[in-house]
């Protein structure tokens, strides 16, 4: 069984409150993109994981793929096994949801391989215990995501957008960024409904004025390269550009595939982690 684990971008990310347990309440618009990792899953007596590809990731028990597999086994009360091979292309610590998407792909694949037939909402419950982005990654495509990641509303998307995604510096930890948020002053907030309306209508011209990520200005003092990368994307023709998630990756939105490719050809000479990509209207069925 071969399944793709797609990266995601944040068209918007807003912090709207704080729970008593310290978790931030979020309001986000996210969409799957063509950049992806690949999981190959085969029946086996035990449970094992091999990691390969251009991006590094731990293959031990801390890997979210193994943690998701073990959580699914424990929930189902079974001792089924699988040999899992993970080919990594999505960079870590980037805000692109790579680890969460890998875990979501593992849950979907093993749910089928082991004949469990759990519905999507049950897989989301299992995934949420491991990571806040996993329920979204189980849904994929374009969604509004609220709460701590558990409230997911699929949204209509009118068109594909052409992107250049790059990671200009070493990764950021989500905990580090949210800790810095606690001491921040006034922050620019996105117009979340405006983003939804623009994507529903396919209005690229409206996106620059409504998009936003409240964590971007928090992350720049930690990784100043983020500001320069956003600036360079705009100088190379991006109609809009911003950080995704809690960073450190940024993305630029281009008017055409040709414009995106021209920018990518130039920027990949400067940045090792630089990807030509596009948004997805559908993801692989399983």
How confident is the model over 224-242, as a mean pLDDT? 98
How confident is the model over 244-254, as a mean pLDDT? 96
Same fold, 2-154 and 162-278: no
**What is the pLDDT confidence band of residue 184, given thresholds at 50, 70 and 90?**
low
How confident is the model over 119-132, as a mean pLDDT? 96
The residues annotated with a catalytic role in the active site are 8, 133
Q: What is the pLDDT of residue 24?
A: 86
Omega of the bond leading into 248 within 30 degrees of 0 (cis): yes
Q: What is the pLDDT of residue 26?
A: 95
- Strand, helix or coil at 61? coil
How confident is the model over 180-203, as a mean pLDDT? 86
Q: Which of 62-71, 176-185, 276-285 has the highest mean pLDDT?
A: 62-71
CA dist list (Å): 4 to 19, 140, 285: 34, 11, 10
Q: What percentage of residues in the chain have a pLDDT greater than 70?
A: 98
| pLDDT one-digit tens code per residue, 18-45 | 888 878 899 999 999 999 999 999 999 9
Angle between helices 98-113 and 120-128 (to 10 degrees): 130
Based on the number of CB atoms within 10 Å of its own CB, is 232 exposed (0-12), middle (13-18) or buried (19 or more)?
A: buried
Q: Which residue has the tokens 């209508």?
A: 201
| Architecture of the domain defined by 2-154 | 2-Layer Sandwich (3.30)
In the predicted model, what is the mean pLDDT of the chain? Answer: 94
Q: Is the pLDDT of residue 106 over 80?
A: yes
Among 83, 73, 81, 85, which Cα is nearest to 39's?
Answer: 85
**What is the pLDDT confidence band of residue 55, given thresholds at 50, 70 and 90?**
confident
Sheet holding 250-254, edge to edge: 240-243, 250-254, 162-166, 274-278
β-bridge pairing 81-87 and 24-44: antiparallel
Q: Is the pLDDT of residue 73 over 70?
A: yes
CA dist list (Å): 50 to 17, 171, 205, 285: 39, 22, 44, 24
Superfamily of domain 162-278: GHMP kinase, C-terminal domain (3.30.70.890)
Q: What is the pLDDT of residue 23?
A: 83
- Tell me if 69 sits within 8 A of 47, measured CB to CB: yes
**What is the pLDDT confidence band of residue 59, given thresholds at 50, 70 and 90?**
confident
Angle between helices 225-235 and 257-267 (to 10 degrees): 130
Q: Is the pLDDT of residue 133 over 80?
A: yes
- Strand, helix or coil at 187? coil
Q: HSE of 129 in the Cβ direction (CA atoms, 13 Å)?
A: 14
How confident is the model over 196-225, as a mean pLDDT? 95
Q: Is the pLDDT of residue 79 over 80?
A: yes
Q: What is the pLDDT of residue 279?
A: 98
Rounded Cα–Cα distance for residues 233 and 276 (Å): 12
Among 221, 195, 217, 218, which Cα is nearest to 206's?
Answer: 195
Sequence ranges of the domains in the chain:
2-154, 162-278
Name beta bridge partners: 48: 83
Transcribe 13-37 into DSSP letters: EEEEEE-TTSPEEEEEEEEEEEEEE
């Amino acid at each position: 069984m071969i399944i793709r684990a797609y990266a995601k971008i944040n068209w918007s990310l807003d912090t709207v409150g704080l729970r008593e347990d310290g978790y931030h309440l979020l309001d986000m618009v996210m969409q799957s993109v063509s950049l992806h990792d690949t999981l190959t899953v085969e029946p086996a007596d035990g449970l094992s994981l091999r990691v390969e590809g251009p991006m590094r990731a731990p293959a031990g028990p801390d890997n979210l793929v193994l943690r998701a597999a073990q959580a699914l086994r424990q929930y189902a009360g079974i001792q089924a096994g699988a040999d899992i091979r993970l080919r990594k292309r999505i960079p870590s610590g980037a805000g692109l949801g790579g680890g969460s998407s890998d875990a979501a792909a593992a849950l979907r694949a093993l749910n089928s391989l082991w004949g469990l037939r759990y519905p999507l909402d049950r897989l989301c419950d299992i995934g949420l215990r491991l990571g806040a982005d996993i329920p979204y990654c189980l849904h994929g495509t374009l969604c509004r995501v609220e709460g701590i990641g558990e409230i997911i509303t699929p949204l209509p998307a009118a068109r594909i957008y052409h992107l250049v995604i790059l990671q200009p510096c070493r990764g950021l930890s989500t905990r580090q960024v949210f800790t810095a948020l606690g001491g921040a002053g006034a922050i620019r907030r996105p117009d979340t409904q405006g983003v939804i309306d623009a994507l529903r209508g396919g209005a690229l011209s409206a996106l620059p004025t409504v998009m936003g990520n409240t964590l971007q200005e928090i992350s720049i003092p930690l990784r100043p390269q983020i500001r320069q990368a956003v600036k360079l994307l705009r100088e190379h023709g991006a109609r809009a550009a911003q950080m995704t998630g809690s960073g450190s990756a940024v993305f630029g939105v281009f008017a055409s595939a040709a414009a995106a490719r021209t920018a990518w050809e130039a920027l990949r000479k400067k940045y090792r982690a630089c990807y030509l990509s596009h948004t997805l209207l559908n993801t692989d069925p399983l």
